[in-house]
Amino acid sequence: MGANWGHSLRLSIFGESHGKAIGINIDGLASGIELDFESIEKNMERRAPGRNKFSTQRKESDSFEILSGIYEGKTTGAPLCAIIRNEDKKSKDYSKLKEVMRPNHSDYPAFIKYRGNNDVRGGGHFSGRITTPIVFAGSIAKTILAKKGIYVGASIKSIKNIEVESLKMEELTLDTFDKLAYKEMAILSDKKILEVKEEIEKARINQDSVGGTIECFAIGVPAGLGEPFFDSLESSISHLAFSIPAVKGIEFGKGFDITRYYGSEIKDEYYYEGEKIKTKRNNNGGILGGLSTGMPISFRVAIKPTPSISKIQNTVNIKTKENCELVIEGRHDPCIVPRAVVVIESVMAIALLDKIYEAGGKYE
């Protein structure tokens, strides 16, 4: 089972949604880094379930236990291993799912690949629950990046048909990122938050779910970070982004809309601001030729509606080999987007730190 990622910074995730614990092993961290445990705990809380009626009512503290790689609050240079114990499991809700395949879930392809031996409880190793250790790793990456003047933040761009205005260039600041992180939903406009909450509540009452998009930014990234072609900065970010179960699409800068313009309209022209080179616009999302340009990096991901809904759905029973109906029981998010914001931030932070470590001392 592919649960490893990275070149210079190497991650290995483990565990299942309803197992004893989930966790991560992080190899390649520099030694002597003093970690900001308060910030890590805050990020873990942002992803944790059971915060309000707009998320699953599974109650998990998502407190972490570091088993190795830390001594007196600093990294030792040895692999850092951490676990997050699963505290609120109701595995009986999944007893029939060994035979009845949930639509829009991994159940059927996983049954084929692992010959029926995969853990189906809560999605097992395919569950969004496994993004928790990714947030832990991303929080550590943010701590290290911040020491280099690099900051990562994200906001909700849309929920179903409700569009939220993108952050303006002048709003891409650490202050804005902190403000978004502490809000009930990562949206600057309180009016838009109310609209989004109404849309999610409508789906919840109708025993349904909705999806949306998240926009992520990194500021302070130096120019020249990344590689061309197969190990481009976009490739690294995309690889991690598509490791998040609900992500179905990604675009950088203007993305697909860039095709609607003439080349003369969409170019990112350079200019000097003192000794620093910038671009007048940032249509390419801060990446050209697979390398960072020094401008803010931006990308958007599409998050699908939560597949577990309480409506009657058509599916198959692989034991009886018959068509059947299914009503999914248990506790599920009517919209996963609000809790996924910090996961997407973690994707950006991990990818950037890996590239910085790849570059050696150039960006120290």
Does 305 carry a binding-site annotation?
yes
Q: Is 324 helix (H, G, I), strand (E, B) or coil?
A: strand
Assess contact for 180 and 155: CB atoms under 8 A.
yes
Assess contact for 339 and 345: CB atoms under 8 A.
no
Does 32 carry a binding-site annotation?
no
Does 289 carry a binding-site annotation?
yes
End-to-end CA distance of the chain: 35
* Distance in angstroms (rounded) separating the CA atoms of residues 22 and 123: 13
**Between the CA of residue 27 and those of 62, 69, 143, 352, what are the distances in Å?**
22, 9, 16, 15
* Distance in angstroms (rounded) separating the CA atoms of residues 362 and 33: 18
Does 331 carry a binding-site annotation?
yes
Does 37 carry a binding-site annotation?
no
Does 126 carry a binding-site annotation?
yes
Does 307 carry a binding-site annotation?
yes
DSSP 306: P
Q: Is 317 helix (H, G, I), strand (E, B) or coil?
A: strand
Burial-class residue 310 by CB neighbours within 10 Å (0-12, 13-18, 19+): middle
Burial-class residue 330 by CB neighbours within 10 Å (0-12, 13-18, 19+): middle
* Distance in angstroms (rounded) separating the CA atoms of residues 98 and 335: 25
Q: Is 10 helix (H, G, I), strand (E, B) or coil?
A: strand
- The angle at the Cα of 29, spanning 23 to 34, to the nearest 5 degrees, equals 95
Does 47 carry a binding-site annotation?
yes
Q: Tell me the binding residues.
A: 47, 53, 125-127, 289, 304-308, 331
Q: Tell me the binding residues for NADP(+).
A: 47, 53
Q: Tell me the binding residues for FMN.
A: 125-127, 289, 304-308, 331
